[in-house]
Each structure stands twice: as C-alpha cells, then as structure tokens.
Amino acid sequence: RIGSATSQSSAVINDRLQELVKLFKERTEKVKEKLTDPDVTSDDETPVASPAEAPPPPPGQEPEAAKAAEDEHYCEMLCCTFKYRPWLDRVKSYPFPSSIDPLTNLMYVLWLFFVVLAWNWNCWLIPVRWAFPYQTPGNIHYWLLMDYLCDLIYLLDIVIFQIRLQFVRGGDIISDKKAMKENYLKSQRFKMDVVCLLPLDFLYFKVGVNPLLRFPRCLKYMAFFEFNNRLEAILSKAYIYRVIRTTAYLLYSLHVNSCLYYWASAYEGLGSTTWVYDGEGNSYIRCYYWAVKTLITIGGLPDPKTLFEIVFQLLNYFTGVFAFSVMIGQMRDVVGAATAGQTYYRSCMDSTIKYMNFYKIPRAVQNRVKTWYEYTWHSQGMLDESELLVQLPDKMRLDIAIDVNYSIVSKVALFQGCDRQMIFDMLKRLRSVVYLPNDFVCKKGEIGREMYIIQAGQVQVLGGADGKTVLVTLKAGSVFGEISLLAAGGGNRRTANVVAHGFANLFILDKKDLNEILVHYPESQKLLRRKAKKMLRNNNKPKDDKGGPEDSVIIPPRPSTPKLFQAALAAAGKVGSKGRLAHLRWKLKELKAMQA
C-alpha cells in the first residue's frame, strides 16, 4: 500500500512538472519570437479604456444642449405642437460646394433631374398648347406660372451649377473658380443655354401669348443627354432605364404627330372631309389614335381627299417607316446589350455539352458540369470574374481586391506581421473557384501547393480509420492549407481529405505565385519561413495522453545494463571475487536493489 501511494504521488508530481516545463517553453518561444520580429502581435488583450467623463461647464456658461433647446422653434397645428427649424435657416446653413464633380456628385445628378423635368415640360406641352385649344384666357396664368418656373430652373442651372463644374485640362482636374467659370463661358453648352433663354416672351405684348415663341426652350437637350449618362453610371440595371427611354422616344414621336394631325384638321376644317378629325370626343385621344395607326402603318385609315391631305399623309407614312425602324433597331440593341452576359453563358454551356456528347462523357459527369455552370452563373453573374478586371489599371484592380478579400486574408495567422504591400500583391493573385457538393477540395497524401480561403459555403475535414469521419467543419472566412505554401522539399503532403459540404466558393493562392511575390520582400519571407517551421513543429508533436504507460517523464529511469557487460561480470565472478570487475558487479547488484 505504501509503494502504491508513493507511485501515485510521484505520477502527479511528474504531470505537474511536465505542465510547468511546457508552459515555460511556450513562454520562452514567444519572447524569442518577439525579440527577433518586433511586428508580431502579442496574445495579451489590450485593456479597454474607460469612457472619460465630460468636464462640467463653467459656472457662467450654459451647456450647448441647453442653448440648442432654446433655439428650437415650435409650430402649433390644431391640438399638437411640432418642433421645426425655419427653412430659411436651413438654406443659409447648407454648405454649398465651391466646385462640383459632375461624374460622382449625386447632388448634381438630382439637380439635372429637375432640369430635365423642366425641359420635358417645354418639349411635350408646347406642341399641345399650339395645336389643341387647351390654352384659354381663363387658365393662361397657370400656364405662364409653370413656364416661368421652368425658366427659373434654367437660369439657376447657369448661374449656380454650370460655373462650378470641374473639368480636366492636361490630365489635371481643375477646381479653381475662375478657371471653371471661363471654361463654361467658352463652351458650346453656354451658347445653347443662352439661346434657350432668349426673352421672346416680350413679343406676347404684340402678338399675344403664342406657345411657339417658347420653342427655344426645347434646345436645352444637352442637359438631357448628360443626365442619361450620369444616371446610367449609378444604376445597377441601366438597361431597364434604356428600355424606358427608347419607349419614351416612340411615344413622343406619336405625340408630335397627333398634334400635327389636329393642326391639319383645323386648317382644313374640323369635319369638312372624312379624313380630318370630326371634332367629336376627346380630341387628343382620337388624334393620338390616328397617329399610332399612321406611324406604325397599321392601315384602315380613310383616304385623303385634297392635295394637302395627300401630301400630309405621304409625309406621315415616310416618317413613320423611318421612325419605327429606328426605334426597333434601338430596342434590339438595348435588349441585346442587357442579355449579352446571358448569351455568352448559354453559348459556353452549349459548346461544353456538345463536346461532352461527342466524347461520350458519362451522364453523371455531364450533370455535374451543368450544375457547376448554373450555380456559378446565378451566384456570380459571370463565369470568370477576372475577365471584368482585365481592362482596369493595376491600381484599380488592387483597390477592388482589397475591398473584396483583405478582411479575410488579414485574419490568416501565417500572414500577420508581414509587409502590408506584400499582402496587397498577394490579393491580386487570388482566384475564385466554385466546388459542388461532395467535391474533393484536396485529398489525403497529395502534395499541397495551394492555400484555400472560404468565401462562401462550408467544407468538411474528413479523417479516421475509414477516412469518412467529419473531424471539423470550416465555414466562410476560414483558411486551410496555408502551411503548404512555405513547406520545403516540393511541398508537404495533405494529412486529411477536405470535401465541400454543399456549394462552396473558395479563393485559391498558388505556391508559385507566392514565391514570385516573396522575391521582392525578403524580410517577410524570413518571417513566413520561421512561422511555417513553428506551425509544422507544433503539428508534428505527438499528442499527450495523461495517465498512459507511455508518458514522458522529466527524470527518465536509468537505462538497463547491456547484456555484453553483464556477461563480462558473470565471467569475472567465476574467476574470483576480487578485482575491479567484481567490484562493479557488486555495485550493479546494489543499484538493482535500489530500483526494486
């Protein structure tokens, strides 16, 4: 009993000593690594700073919150009181920019929207007011109010916005006030804006309020096309706006034709012949219906009677054929550009299926290939992301790569402490690969030459005796295979199978690409080599099973006496009990007794 208790206590002491020695070794390695590489971050957490209390206000001064409360205004409506700030104060306090970037400033795009609204008011309603009897002395003041409101928008566009637009000269972005103003005054845009605001309205006092005198207001078409370009640049699905705009072109052509038909009918006399408008029903709707049938050449129209009617009808037919063919061509181009990616995807998939059928690929493999095409297209909207970035400058590709991948790569322990520019160069070498469910990402025994970063989906690490036991499931943002990038001797072998659990989108970094990058960053290369050796050493350490018979001890037992030496001692005993060998034999027996 005494011997068993002594052996148990010695085993406990041995385990504690092992733990202490292990902790001291880890601490020593961390200190050595910190001394050799100051960039390595410590594992200790940074203490969180306690929030500082705001200093009390001076005794003679009130806090800002109290002043703000006093400055608030109130508006009483019915039984409620609402807080508000006077709109004039808000306008005065708005920091209007001294220069405007026309390519990226959303406020300028919004202003162009109002300018285009004013331009559309003139383009659509000037023909209506000229041809149809909708402008009467009873409502003339409403028409004039809207007209001069549009003129005010035109004027503000010249005085406030156009003279503040930045421009490029000699590769430099010019934002100087005087230079911007001079550039606008010398441009074709300024000349057209001045023509748009010709004060022909003064002729109203002589000829009356004739809407045709406002026709120059329709010449501000440059703002319309600029608005189209800016809006398409910020829309994610610009083809929808292009379809709407092309449809609006067709509707406007029909609108102008209906106005001309009513004018021709009024010139000939309403109801004078079977060809002209008879004056019954809604005049605009009936004339618009006639314009649709004429421009689209549906037929079924009454025959013109007079020479004027015949010439007018011929011009309508020629214009209709030309305008309708142009609209159909534009619509085809818009739809074709919108579905160009889908068409490319279909052509690639059809070519691949044709190839597999020609070589009689098994149906199961063909189904997996089709599934890969469909998932890749629907998840990414493209088959190869790198095709979109080929035409961009290297700096822009780097900016996009940083926004997409840096948050993931920066968390990899292997690359922490490395040169930041080296990580940026590495981001541009990452390539995206999609794996189908149950696809092997890597197999046990393969030479590892890639590192994998999970962008979306999950992968499972398989092991065990049958190689099918799930050891761990890695999710989005996890990294595996990073040690193989720096392993010497042609790479290290994979120790487990990694299988995609569902659809998985991974970023892959090849060992060859990393070696090409590290040539320019020797310090980072040394750091990575040191970290890789440490990670390999930790992975190769045998796992300790506490309480087992194979535990390593701090003070190992004495090795047994070699058999050849024991034979020599036995021979010496036969010769005699004296001499050096006899003395050694006596010592050996004493040691055995102590061990027992």
Q: What is the CATH number of the domain that holds 433?
A: 2.60.120.10
Do 147 and 221 fall into the same domain?
A: yes
* Residue 199 pLDDT: 92
What CA–CA distance (Å, rounded) separates 568 from 581? Answer: 8
Would you state the pLDDT for residue 196? 93
Last residue of a domain, one of 363, 383, 403: 383
Range of the domain at 459: 392-540
Q: Are residues 96 and 221 in the same domain?
A: yes
Give the number of domains in the chain: 3
Question: Does residue 397 sit in the same domain as residue 303?
Answer: no
Are 249 and 216 part of one and the same domain?
no
Are 306 and 373 found together in one domain? yes
Buried b (16+ CB within 10 A) or exposed e, 562-585: eeeeeeebeebeeeeeeeebeeeb
- 525 & 397 share domain: yes
| Residue 555, in any domain of the structure | no
Whether residues 230 and 243 share a domain: the answer is no
Global pTM? Answer: 0.62
Domain boundary among 493, 509, 540: 540
Give one DSSP letter per residue of 32-66, joined into a string: HHHHH-TTSPPSSPPPPPPPPPPPPPPTTS--HHH
Decide: 415 and 409 in contact? Cβ < 8 Å: yes
Inside any domain, residue 571: no
Decide if 553 is inside a domain. no
In a domain, 526, yes or no: yes
Residues 284, 375, single domain; the answer is yes
- Rounded Cα gap, residues 459 and 503, in angstroms: 9
- Looking at residue 413, its pLDDT comes to 74
Pair (242, 338) in one structural domain: yes
Neighbours of 129 (CB within 10 A): 19
Which regions in the chain score pLDDT beneath 70?
Answer: 1-9, 32-94, 299, 384-390, 486-492, 539-596
Which pLDDT score, from 0 to 100, does residue 152 have? 96
The DSSP bridge partners found for residue 258 are: none
- Which of 361, 383, 405 finishes a domain? 383
Whether residue 78 lies inside any domain: the answer is no
* Sign of CA pseudo-dihedral 398, 401, 407, 411: negative
Element spanning 339, H or E: none
Please indicate, yes or no, whether residues 304 and 252 belong to a single structural domain of this protein.
Answer: yes
Domain identity same for 247 and 294: yes
Going by C-alpha positions, the residue among 371, 386, 377 that lies closest to residue 343 is 377
